[in-house]
A and B are shown apart, each in its own frame.
Chain A
Amino acid sequence: MTTLADLVPGQTAEVLSVTGDPALVQRLYEFGLLEGERIEVLALALLGDPIEISLGNSRLTLRRAEAAGITVRSEE
C-alpha cells in the first residue's frame, strides 16, 4: 500500500484514505485533504522530514509520521 510518506518531490497522487487520530483526520479534512483529491509532493525539509505538499491552490506541510496514515494512488 502506497502512502503519502512514500512519494518523492515532483510526484502527484490521488488520496485513497485518510486515517489516524480523529483530531488529525478532521484537521486534514478541514484543509480539504479528502479522499479523491489530487496532491503533489513539493519538497522535503533537511533530513527528509517534514514534507510539503500542494493541494488545490494551497500548500501544506506535515510530518512523515502523519503522512504515513494517508494512502494514495501514485500517478506518473
Chain B
Amino acid sequence: MLTVALVGNPNAGKSTLFNALSGLRQRIGNYPGVTVEMKKGQFTTDGVTLDLIDLPGTYSLAARSPDEMVAVDLLLGRRPEEPRPSVVLSIVDATNLDRHLYLTSQLLDLGVPVVVAVNMIDAAAAQGLKFDYAKLAAALGVPVVPIQANNGTGLAALTAAIRAAADQPAPHGLTFPTAFDEVAEQLRKELSDEVPPFLLRRALIDIGGYTEQWLVERHGDRFKVALVGAREKLAAAGHSVPGVEARTRFAWVRTAVAAAVTKPAVRPVTGSDRIDHILTHRVWGTLVFLVVMFLMFQSIFLWAKPLMDLIGSGQDAVAKGVQSQLPSGPLRALLVDGIIKGVGSVLVFLPQIMILFGFIAVLEDCGYMARAAFLMDRVMSRCGLSGKSFIPMLSSVACAVPGIMAARVIENRRDRLATILVAPLMSCSARLPVYILLIGAFIARPGSPGWLPGLVLFAMYMIGFTVAPLVALALKRTLLRGAPPVFVMELPSYRRPKIGSILRRMGGAGWSFTRRAGTIILAAMVIVWALLYFPHTDANGESYPDRIETAEDTAKEKAPRLKELNDKEDATDEEKVELEALEDAGALPDKLNGEWKRGSALGRTGLWMEPVFKPLGWDWKIGVAAMASFPAREVIVGTFGLLYDVGEVDTKAIGNAKADDDAKEKAAGLTRAVQDDWSKDPVRGKYGVPVALSIMVFFALCCQCAATLAVIKRETKSWAWPAFTFVYMTALAYVGAFLTFQVGRLVVG
C-alpha cells in the first residue's frame, strides 16, 4: 500500500483534486494536541490501493505554530499515527506557477519522491500561457502531470505517475549558497542528538519559528546563542535569513519556468481583474458587500417559507396519526407533545439553515469571502482584530460551530482566541426560531407596518454584529492584550462555484442539524416534558390528564348552548347565570392545565426562581423555557409548546366565536397560544412587546448551545475558555434583557 500526501497552496484546487481522486471514501483524521484535521481518502488503481492524506493548504513549510508543524512532521515521518508518505503530490496552479513552485521546491528537500500536478490548465490556456511539460519536468527534476481537477482531465496519468514515482529515488534538494551549508553544518555539531537536516535548516531560516522554539526548548540557551551566531555569520556573508531562502528558491523556480513556459508579452486582463475592479472598489465594493449581505438574509426568509410550511404540515400529520393510534396517557403525551412537537418545532428550521450554509459556501468557493475580509479589515482592526476574523464571524451567522473552526486561518493565538470567544455572539440560525416566533406573536400584529418585523429581525442580528466587536475589543485590551495582528492575505482568483461541492456542504449542514435535533434537542425535550408532566396527580390523588379530558368533553358538549347564549342579545337573568357557568366550564380545562404545570417539578422550580426573572419582565414559564434551552436554544420553542399547551380542542375559540377571527386564524397555533396566555397577565398583557424583545435580546446574547461550548473546548484545548464564554455571555444576556424590558416598560408606560 502506498501513502500519498497531497500538498499545495490554498486555492490551488487541492480539495477538488482530493475529492476527484478519493470519491466518497473519505474520513477525517485528528491529531492529539493540535487543532489540525486532515482528510484521508483511499483509491485503487490497477489493483494497488493508495492512501491519500490531504494536508492543510499552506504557502510554505516554515512552521510557525504546532498546527503547522503537524504537516511538516507528517511529511518527515515523525507522526506516530501515520506512516511516512511514499510520495508527495504537489499541486500547483498553472496560472501562477512562479509562486506555487516555491512550496514545491521546499518539498524537494524532504527526501521523498515528489510528483507535481499542474492544475487549472484550462484557465492558463485562456490566458495564453503555453507549457512544455517535458522541459518543466527536466528542470524541476521530478515528474510533472498537467491536470484539470474539476473535470477529471489528466487524473489517470497522474495516478500512473504517482505509482511509478514510488519506486524512484527521492529528488535532490536545491543547492543553497556554500556559506549557508557550512554554517548549517557547524550548527549541527552544536546538537547532541540527531535532528533531520531539513528541520535544522528550518530552525536556521525561520526566525522565531516553531522549529527554533522546539530546539531551543530541548537544547537550552546554548543552542539559541549558537543559532543567533550562525545567523549573524550568514548576514556577514551576504546571505541573511530569511531572504537567502526566498532568493535561492525563487531564482531556481524562475529558471525552470523560463525554460518551460511561454507567456504572452502583455499579461491579458482576465475576467477576475475586471470583477475585482468593482468588488474591491472602495465605494462600489462596499455597496456590493452590503447588498450581498442583505440578499443573503432576505432570501433565507423568502425561499425557506414554503419548505418550512411543508415540514410543519408533515409534522402535524404525524402527530395526528400517533394521537389516533395510541390511547391517551403518559406515553402518548411524551410522543406527541415531547417528541413530535418538540423536535418537530425545531426541525422546521432545517430549510433556513441549509440556505444560509449554501450562501456561505458559494461566497467562499467563488473567492468573495477574501474580498469581504479585505473590505472589512479596517472595521475589524478597530476592535483589535483583522479582516481574517471576519470570515469566522460571518460564518457564525449560520452556526458558531463551523465559524469557530474557521478561526483556524488566524495565525496569531490571541487573535484567534478573541475571535473564537466572540463568535457565539453572532446571531446563529438556531436563534431564528425564537425571533420568528416572538416577532410573529407580538410585533407583526394586525395594523402594524409591514416593514416592522423585518426591521426588528435585522435589529436582532445587529446586536450580534455590534456586541461581538465590542467584546473582542475589551478582550484585546485585557485578557488577550497584544500587538495589532498582521494582515497579509492572498486574494484568490474568482471561480465559478461547483454545484456539487455547494450541495455537499448544504447536505452536511442539514444532516448535522438533523442529528442535533435527534440527539441533544430530543433529550432536552424529553427531560423538559417529564419535568412538566410529573407529578401529574392533584392533592386528592386524581390524575390531571383525566380531569382535563373530562372537563374538555363537558365543554365540548356544552359548546353549542354556549354559542347560542352568546349570540342571544336579549338574555334573561337566568340565562345570564347559565352563560357564566358555561363560560367557567369552558375555561376549566385551561385552569386545570395551569394548576398541573405550576405544580410540576419544573413549574415549582420556575416559581421558586421567579424573582430572578421578574426584572426581565418574565414569568416562571418564560424563565423555565429559557433555562431549559441552555443545552440548545431551539428547545425554547418546544418548551413554549408544552407550557402554553397548544391544545387540540380550543374551547375559547368556540366560546368567543365573535372575536377577531381573521387575525387569530392568521397566527399559527403556538403563536396564538403565547398571545392568549400573555394577554391574560397584567404585566405581559400590557408590556407584551418589551417582554418579547427582552426574551429575544436574552437569546441573542446568551450562549445556549452545548455544541458551541464543546467546540470551543476542542479548539482551545482547555475547559477554561468555554467556561469563560458561558459565564460572560449569560451575564451579558441577563443585563441586556433587563435593560430592554426596563426601557421598554418606560416607553410603553
- Which residues does A use to contact B, with CB under 8 Å? 21-32, 34-35, 42-50, 52, 56-63, 65-66
Report if B650 contacts A (CB, 8 A): no
Contact present for A59 and B276 (CB under 8 Å):
yes
Q: Inside 8 A of A50's CB, which chain B residues have their CB?
A: 374, 377-378, 387, 487
Contact status A45-B282, CB under 8 Å = yes
- Cβ of A31 and Cβ of B490 under 8 Å apart? yes
Establish whether residues B282 and A46, one from each chain, have CB atoms under 8 Å apart when the complex forms. Answer: yes
Q: Which residues of A contact B276 (CB under 8 A)?
A: 42-43, 52, 59
Which B residues between 480 and 531 are near A, CB-CB below 8 angstroms?
484, 486-492
Which of A21, A57, A60, A65 is close to B489, meaning CB atoms less than 8 Å apart? Answer: A60
Residues of the B chain whose Cβ atoms lie less than 8 Å from the Cβ of A23: 64, 207-209, 486
CB of B509 to closest CB in A, whole Å: 29
Contacts of B209 in A (CB 8 A): 23
- A65, chain B: closest CB distance, angstroms: 8
User: Quick check: is B615 within 8 A (CB to CB) of the other chain?
Assistant: no
Give the complex CA separation of A43 and B374 in angstroms: 10
Is there a chain A Cβ closer than 8 Å to B280's Cβ?
yes
Q: What chain A residues lie within 8 Å of B374 (beta carbons)? A: 45, 50, 52, 61
A18 (CB) vs chain B CBs: closest residue: B243
Closest-by-CB residue of B relative to A52 is B280
When chains A and B are docked, how far (Å) is the Cα of A24 from the Cα of B247? 16
Of B370, B377, B387, B486, the contact of A21 (CB 8 Å cutoff): B486
Q: Does B242 contact A (CB under 8 A)?
A: yes
B236 to chain A, nearest CB (A): 17
The reply to whether A57 and B96 form a contact with Cβ atoms under 8 Å apart is yes
CB within 8 Å of A: which residues of B?
A: 59-60, 62, 64, 95-96, 98-99, 102, 205-209, 242-243, 245-247, 250, 267, 276-277, 280-283, 285-286, 370, 373-375, 377-378, 381, 387, 484, 486-492
Q: A30-B102, A31-B59 are in contact. List 19 more A-B contacts (CB 8 A).
A: A23-B209, A23-B486, A26-B62, A26-B205, A31-B488, A34-B247, A34-B250, A43-B282, A45-B285, A45-B286, A45-B377, A45-B378, A46-B282, A46-B283, A46-B286, A56-B96, A60-B490, A61-B377, A63-B486
Known: A34-B250, A43-B285. A22 touches B208 (CB 8 A): yes
Nearest B-chain residue to A61, judged by Cβ: B374
Closest-by-CB residue of B relative to A62 is B488
Complex CA–CA separation, A10 to B246 (angstroms) = 27
Contact B59–A30 (Cβ < 8 Å): yes
- Interface residue from A24, A44, A56, A66 paired with B282 (Cβ < 8 Å): A44
Nearest-neighbour CB distance to chain A for B292, whole angstroms, equals 15
The reply to whether B486 and A24 form a contact with Cβ atoms under 8 Å apart is yes
Q: How far does the alpha carbon of A48 sit from the alpha carbon of B489 in the complex, in Å?
A: 17
* CB-defined A-B contacts under 8 Å, sample of 7: A23-B207, A29-B242, A30-B102, A32-B98, A44-B282, A56-B98, A62-B487
CB distance from A21 to the nearest CB of B (A): 7
Q: Determine the distance from Cα of A44 to Cα of B281 in the docked complex, in whole angstroms.
A: 7
A29 to B250, CA, bound (A): 9
Residues in B whose Cβ lies below 8 Å from that of A30: 59-60, 62, 102, 246
Closest 3 CB pairs of A and B: A29-B246, A22-B207, A59-B491
Interface of A is mostly: mixed
Cβ B486 vs Cβ A66 within 8 A: yes
Give min CB distance, A58 to chain B, whole Å.
Answer: 6
Report the bound CA distance from A46 to B102 in whole Å.
33
B265 to chain A, nearest CB (A): 15
Residue of A nearest to B484 (CB): A65
Which of A26, A48, A63, A66 has the most B CB atoms < 10 Å from its CB?
A26
Q: Which residues of B contact A63 (CB under 8 A)?
A: 377, 381, 486-487
Enumerate chain A residues within 8 angstroms of B64, measured Cβ to Cβ. 23
Q: What distance in Å separates the Cβ of B383 from its nearest Cβ neighbour in chain A?
A: 15
> Within 8 Å CB of B62, what residues of A?
26, 30
Tally A-B pairs: CB < 8 A: 126
Closest to B370 in A: A61
Complex contact A25–B242 (CB within 8 A): yes
Bound Cα distance A34, B96 (Å): 16
Q: Is the CB of B488 within 8 A of A28?
A: yes
Bound together, the chains give a CA A29 to CA B488 distance in angstroms of 12
Cα A60 to Cα B98 with chains together (Å): 15
B378 adjacent to A47 (CB under 8 Å): yes
In the complex, which residues of chain A have a beta carbon less than 8 angstroms from the beta carbon of B95? 57
What is the bound-complex CA distance between A22 and B375, given in angstroms?
26
Q: In the complex, what's the smallest C-beta–C-beta distance from B280 to chain A, in angstroms? A: 4
The reply to whether A66 and B99 form a contact with Cβ atoms under 8 Å apart is: no
> Which residues on B sit within 8 Å (CB–CB) of A25?
242-243
Alpha-carbon distance A74/B62, docked complex (angstroms): 31
Contact B490 A57 (CB under 8 A): no
The answer to whether A42 touches B207 (Cβ under 8 A) is no
Compute how far the CA of A60 lies from the CA of B64 in the bound complex, rounded to whole angstroms.
20
Q: B353 to chain A: closest CB distance in Å?
A: 31
Given contacts A22-B207, A22-B242, contact A46 B375 (CB under 8 A): yes
In the bound complex, residues from chain A placing their C-beta under 8 Å from that of B488 are: 24, 27-28, 31, 60-62, 66
A73 to chain B minimum Cβ distance, whole angstroms, is: 19
A32-B99 contact given A46-B375, A50-B374, CB 8 Å threshold: yes
Q: Provide the residues of chain B in CB contact with A27, threshold 8 Å.
A: 59, 486, 488
Note all chain A residues with C-beta closer than 8 A to B378.
Answer: 45-47, 49-50
B487 x A61 contact (CB < 8 A): yes
Once bound together, how far apart are the Cα atoms of A22 and B242, in whole Å?
8
By beta carbon, the residue of chain A nearest B60 is A30
Q: Which residues of B contact A43 (CB under 8 A)?
A: 276-277, 280-282, 285
Assess A26 versus B490: contact at CB under 8 Å? Given A58-B96, A59-B276.
no
The docked-state distance in angstroms from the alpha carbon of A34 to that of B370 is 23
- Give the Cβ gap from B44 to chain A, nearest Cβ, in Å: 36
Give Cα A24 to B374, complex, Å. Answer: 18
The distance from the CB of A40 to the nearest CB of chain B, in whole angstroms, is 11
Contact status B99-A29, CB under 8 Å: no
Provide the bound-state CA to CA distance between A35 and B246, in Å.
10
Flag if B98 contacts A57 (CB, 8 Å): yes
Please report the C-alpha to C-alpha distance between residue A23 and residue B209 in the assembled complex, in whole angstroms: 8
A59 to B206, CA, bound (A): 24
Indicate if the CB atoms of B280 and A57 lie closer than 8 Å: no
Chain A residues near B492 (CB-CB < 8 A): 59
Task: Say whether B242 contacts A57, CB under 8 Å.
Answer: no
Q: What B residues does A31 contact at CB under 8 A? A: 59, 99, 488, 490
Q: How far is the CA of A22 from the CA of B243 in the complex (A)?
A: 10
Q: Which residue of B lies closest to A47 (CB)?
A: B378
Report chain B residues within 8 Å CB of A35: 243
